A and B are shown apart, each in its own frame.
Chain A
Amino acid sequence: MAAVIELDGLNVRFGPRDILKDLRCSMSGRAIGLLGPNGAGKSTLINTLLGFYRPFAGTARVFGHDIRTETRQIRALTGYMPESDCFIASMTAVNFIRMMAELSGLPSDAALERAHEALFYVGLGEARYRRLGTYSLGMKQLAKLAQAIAHGPKLVVLDEPTNGLDPPARQRMIRLIREMRDTNEVSILISSHLLRDVEETCEEVLILKEGHQVHYANLEEERRANRRFLELETVGGDNGFADAVSALGCECALTSAHRMKMVLPESFAIRELYRLAGERNIQIRRLSYRRDSLEDIFLKAMESTNGRP
């Protein structure tokens, strides 16, 4: 799959302070998560990709376009939902989103049509003729999402999309992001400090700490790999069970008399374990896959010294 975002030794400096330090990564997932504590550089990275800040050293590419020289092309392919409240309070939602779509290059009629569609899509159809200044926080977030997608970009950048949302509104936002991701028509870059949001929506994750890249993980691959690690707790029988399992091609290690960990081969079917247990009159009391959650990955990444892995 072609890279959506490539970071090539990217360094961003404000005055004497290095904000982003030598980021190197290639991300090609449909939904990419940017994780990190406050001040890690997530928003700075987004703003640099959009051309708001100039790199001090290195560069980055979005769909192959260099951020140093092809900012306009990148912006033409991108929709951006900022973290802070951004809107023109005196405009109605439909007029505001129409204007934003026109600024992205859509003709006036097409922009109007897509403004209506985008507002219906995010669930603001009934409120589209209301002034943005009268919207609640959740509605403003949805309006920001609508303006980011109205012109049909190839990459949607969402900076803390669930900030300040109550649980139902958050669920709605997450569902919209997942729906967009699953259309395969758009790539999504989500910056968040909420692990759950990223875990529920993203396929890849880049973790930043103090401007350093501390971890990059393909969550889909990790989830697939985790499915091969198994923990088993049995009652009855003897150690012969472990040998029998090993004979089927599993790597097996006993952690206690009735507990074992195993790595399953690619084509191994779990029913084989139940069959072996049945033959040996062994009860399988617990069978669990290793679940290296994003929280584990994140905490491990945060343990690294000075933000370095």
Chain B
Amino acid sequence: MAVHKRSYRSYAGALTPAWSRFTIITRYAFRNLFRSRMLTAYFVCCFFYPLGCAAVIYVNHNLSLLTSLNIREVLAIDADFFMHFLAVQSAFAFILTAIVGPGLVSPDLANNALPLYLCRPFSRAEYVIGKMAILLWLLSLITWIPGLVLFGIQASLAGAPWAWANIGLAWGIFIGSAIEILVFSLLSLAISAWIKRKIAAGAALLGVFFFGSGLAQVINAVLETKNGYLIDLGNLLTTVEGSLFGHANPVGISASSAWIALLAACVFCIALLERKVRAYEIVVG
């Protein structure tokens, strides 16, 4: 089908491996996302706090600087330090999800584009993974990756004994971030798949967290129970992350209950996606 010939010809060249096709969606979405200056600026802002933390760690180990300032230690670099780091970055991650997430699936639904994706050798699961990979990358870059870099800096400055004694912190940073990224990504994709308008989908994502938290308080107050926290995603994530850093949640539910509730939320989101991400909806009846 050369331009000058303008006749149909089939394609007989090489094909890309089937497993890699989900990355195409991710690649095109990234290209589109960073056209927005606002998003780019916000994304850069997400690295300010990790840079501050890195500076604190450096200053903490710079004896001459501390001596000249007559300070023994700026901050203790321990579980609390990394948990606080994760809490701050989680807030950034949530806002980033609220900006990026609603625009992932809803435009495809609004434009009826799903049949065009799914009529190719490309499954619904690959479509969802491709879309989810966008958030996985973005959120990873501002949560566990800088977290582990900070851990690495601290380990290199404090020495191997500190690293071995606190290796659980690295694990906590990674697992805590991973569950958070998974929940944020699945939830925003599910909402994006059910609400075609991007702004409404963004509002719904905020609503799930804030309305869920308010409803949990009402349930707890009315029924005199703590089980209301099971629908408070923010509290569930805090409980799980706290348990990973050795902190029990004094007011909420147990860590195991929080894990189960978060996994149930993920399964629910997958079910929502399974129902909505289809080439055509089947009208029964």
Bound pair: A and B? yes
Task: Say whether B120 faces chain A, with CB atoms less than 8 Å apart.
Answer: yes
Query: Given A117-B3, A121-B8, A185-B8 in contact, is the A86-B24 Cβ separation under 8 Å?
Result: no
- Could you tell me if B21 and A105 are in contact, using CB atoms closer than 8 angstroms? yes
Given contacts A103-B120, A179-B8, 16 further A-B pairs with CB under 8 A are A15-B284, A16-B284, A16-B285, A47-B279, A47-B280, A73-B121, A75-B121, A78-B119, A82-B116, A90-B32, A95-B28, A99-B24, A103-B117, A121-B8, A152-B10, A183-B7
In the complex, what residues of A have CB within 8 A of residue B108's CB? 88
- Rounded to whole angstroms, the CA-CA distance of A304 and B280 in the bound complex is 31
Contact call A86/B115, Cβ cutoff below 8 A? yes
Report whether B11 and A152 are in contact in the complex, using a CB–CB cutoff of 8 Å: yes
Residues of B within 8 A of A186 (CB): 8, 10
Q: Which residue from B14, B119, B278 sits with its C-beta under 8 Å from A50?
A: B119
Q: How far is the CA of A105 from the CA of B15 in the complex (A)?
A: 5
B1-30 Cβ-contact flags toward A at 8 Å (1 or 0): 111001111111111101001001100100
Any chain A CB within 8 A of the CB of B68? no
In-complex Cβ contact of A52 among B18, B118, B285 (8 A): B118
Q: Give B20-64 interface residues, CB cut-off 8 Å to A.
A: 21, 24-25, 28, 32
Which of A106-114, A253-261, A275-283, A289-297 contacts the other chain? A106-114
Are A53 and B10 touching (Cβ within 8 A)?
A: no
In whole angstroms, how far apart are the Cα atoms of A79 and B283 in the complex? 25
Contacts of A120 in B (CB 8 A): 3, 6
Q: List 27 contacting pairs A-B, 8 Å CB cutoff, sorted by A.
A: A14-B283, A14-B284, A47-B280, A52-B279, A72-B18, A75-B120, A75-B121, A76-B121, A82-B115, A86-B111, A88-B107, A89-B111, A90-B32, A102-B16, A103-B24, A104-B122, A106-B15, A107-B13, A116-B3, A120-B3, A147-B116, A149-B1, A149-B8, A152-B11, A153-B10, A154-B10, A179-B8
B9 and A105 contacting across the interface, CB-CB below 8 Å? no
Collect the chain A residues with CB atoms within 8 Å of residue B119's CB. Answer: 50, 52, 75, 78-80, 82
Which chain A residues (68-106) contact chain B, with CB distance < 8 Å?
A: 72-73, 75-76, 78-80, 82, 84-90, 95, 99-100, 102-106
CB distance from B102 to the nearest CB of A (A): 15
Within 8 A of B (CB), among A177-210: 179-180, 183, 185-186
B3 to chain A, nearest CB (A): 5
Check if B251 is an interface residue, CB within 8 A of chain A: no
CB distance from A65 to the nearest CB of B (A): 12
Q: Is B88 an interface residue (CB 8 A)?
A: no
**Distance of A52 Cα from B277 Cα, bound (Å):** 11
Contact across chains for B284 and A185 when beta carbons are under 8 A apart: no
Judge whether A152 and B9 touch: CB under 8 Å.
yes
Is the Cβ of B121 less than 8 Å from the Cβ of A180? no
- Interface size of A as a range: 35 or more
* Bound form: Cα–Cα A15–B284 in Å: 5
A125 neighbours in B (Cβ, 8 Å)? 3
Docked complex Cα distance between A106 and B24 (Å): 11
With a cutoff of 8 Å between Cβ atoms, the chain A residues found around residue B111 in the complex are 85-89
Name the CB-closest residue of A to B279. A52
Min C-beta distance of A78 to chain B, whole Å: 7
Q: Does B221 contact A (CB under 8 A)?
A: no
- A151 adjacent to chain B (CB < 8 Å): yes
Please report the total number of B residues contacting A with Cβ < 8 Å: 41
Is there contact, CB below 8 Å, between B10 and A185?
yes
Assuming the A-B contacts A76-B121, A88-B111, are A107 and B14 also in contact, with contact meaning beta carbons closer than 8 angstroms in the complex?
A: yes
A171 to chain B, nearest CB (A): 17
The reply on A62 being an interface residue by CB < 8 A is no
In the complex, what residue of chain A is closest to B3 when comparing beta carbons?
A120
**B282 interface residue (CB < 8 Å to A):** yes
CA of A75 to CA of B121, assembled, Å: 5
Query: What are the residues of chain B within 8 A of A99 when measuring CB–CB?
Result: 24, 28
A27 at the interface (CB under 8 A from B): no
Q: A125–B11 Cα gap in the complex (Å)?
A: 20
| Contact indicator A86/B112 (Cβ below 8 Å) | yes
Whether A86 touches B121, Cβ cut-off 8 Å, given contacts A106-B13, A118-B1, A180-B8, is no
Tell whether, in the assembled complex, residue B116 and residue A87 are in contact, meaning their CB atoms are under 8 Å apart: yes
- Contact between B107 and A103 (Cβ–Cβ < 8 Å)? no
CB distance B7 to A106 under 8 Å? no
B264 at the interface (CB under 8 A from A): no
CB <8 Å contact, A107 and B16: yes
Complex CA–CA separation, A277 to B112 (angstroms): 64
Q: Which of A5-52 contact B (CB under 8 A)?
A: 14-17, 47, 50, 52
Assembled-state Cα–Cα distance A72/B119 (Å): 9
B113 within 8 A of partner (CB)? yes
Contact flag A103-B13 (CB < 8 Å), given A15-B284, A88-B111? no
Residue of A nearest to B115 (CB): A82
CB-nearest residue of chain B to A185: B10
Q: A-facing mask of B94-122, CB < 8 A → 1, else 0? A: 00000000000001100111011111111
Complex partner residue of A84 from B1, B2, B112, B123, CB under 8 angstroms: B112
Q: 4 closest pairs, A vs B, by CB?
A: A152-B11, A15-B284, A105-B15, A80-B119
* Residue in B12, B116, B285 whose Cβ sees the most chain A Cβ within 10 Å: B116
Tell me if A82 and B112 are in contact (CB < 8 A).
Answer: yes
CA distance A110 to B11 in the complex (A): 9
In the assembled complex, the CB of A9 is this many whole angstroms from the nearest CB of chain B, namely: 21
- Which of B14, B32, B111, B117: most chain A Cβ within 10 A? B111
Complex interface: chain A residues within 8 A of B24 (CB): 99, 102-103
A179 to B7, CA, bound (A): 8
